[in-house]
Amino acid sequence: MAATTVDWIRNWEEIYDGRLKVMQRDYSIDDWSERAEDYSERRKTNQYEFGENVYAALAGHGIVGETFRVIEVGSGPGTFVIPFSKHAEHMTAVEPAEGMIRVIRENAREAGIDNFDIINRIWQDVSIPEIQGKYDLVITSTVIWMFRDIMAQISRMEEVTRGHCCVVEGIDSTDALGKKIWHTIMGEIPYPPYPGYPIVFNLLYQNGRIPQVRIVEAKSRRSTEKLMKMYNVFYSLYTELTPEVEEKIHSALLADSADGLHEGTYRSAVVWWDPKERREMV
């Protein structure tokens, strides 16, 4: 197939629809509340190393700094809220899951941070006119795969910033262990792809944006017990969570953990662009 014939929006939608076809049900907001503890543990590894590295990559290019107001779409446990609040003027977290909000507040208390607020909604329900152009940076990480109408949501992000937009996505974020567990439980059914990087780069580029990329690396350390919970939530969406399934997850995790901890180093792509700057499209 010739490169120019790829319709990246269509490609995105196909991946989105393909995932739903394999699932018994889609994620609900309660699933994310359930995930709050394990996700928080992951993002807090090495004093929020992931968030700090993303901040440093952006700050190095003047995309964020101490006078900046930043909004994060889908904050989870405070992935960027906590590390960014330490450096920037103010953070707004858009987060619908009560469990995640509780963890953001706990993590903020622990870090001594109070220069943030929370919009308790899904991003699609946030009223853009109320916050239009009020931020210097809009950032989101591993959230946009939940948006089937991807360019519509990206355009909404662009409307709230007078500066830059940033999307952070894992590179090949399903590690060998994740794939191994999938095949043990799901057999021949292919692992469901989640649209992320580099598709998002292609999408932005094809739609006239001028994206820049930095690859960052960060460690993730989770207790086997919390990781078990993550896998339980995940597989409850794809199959019946029987004691046999739980046992398969448990034994695979034990084999891959040391002293009750599971550790890995992950790479992510930090993709940012200035919505005011466009390529001339032929």
Strands 261-273 and 212-223: antiparallel
Q: How far is the CB of 6 from another protein (least distance, A)?
A: 6
Count residues contacting another protein (CB under 8 A)? 32
**Which residue, 225 or 274, has its beta carbon nearer to another protein?**
274
Contact set for another protein, span 133-172 (CB under 8 A): 171
CB of 22 to another protein, least distance (A): 13
Residue 158 structure tokens: 């662009």
Q: Is 99 in the site for another protein (CB under 8 A)?
A: no
The residue (of 85 and 142) whose beta carbon lies closer to another protein is: 142
Task: Confirm or reject binding of residue 202 to another protein (CB under 8 A).
Answer: yes
Say how far apart CA 203 and CA 211 lie, in whole Å.
Answer: 10
3-state helix, strand, coil in the chain (%, to 5): 50, 20, 30
CB of 1 vs another protein, minimal distance in Å? 5
Q: How far is the CB of 96 from another protein (least distance, A)?
A: 26
Of 20, 23, 128, 210, which one interacts with another protein (CB under 8 A)?
Answer: 210
Pick the binder of another protein from 70, 196, 218, 228 (CB under 8 A). 196
Quick one: 117 or 217, whose CB is closer to another protein? 217
Quickly count: other Cβ atoms within 10 Å of residue 191's Cβ. 13
CA dihedral for 241, 243, 247, 248, sign (positive or negative): negative
Applying CB under 8 A, does 59 fall inside the site for another protein? no
Q: What's the burial of 3, exposed, middle or buried (CB within 10 Å: 0-12/13-18/19+)?
A: exposed
3-class DSSP assignment, residue 195: coil
Helix (H) or strand (E) holding 215: strand 212-223
- Residue 83 touches another protein, criterion: CB under 8 A: no
Q: Which SS3 state, helix, strand or coil, does residue 19 take?
A: helix
Q: Which residues make up the interface to another protein (CB under 8 A)? A: 1-4, 6, 11, 15, 60-61, 171, 190-191, 193, 195-196, 198-199, 201-202, 205-206, 210-215, 267, 269, 279-280, 282
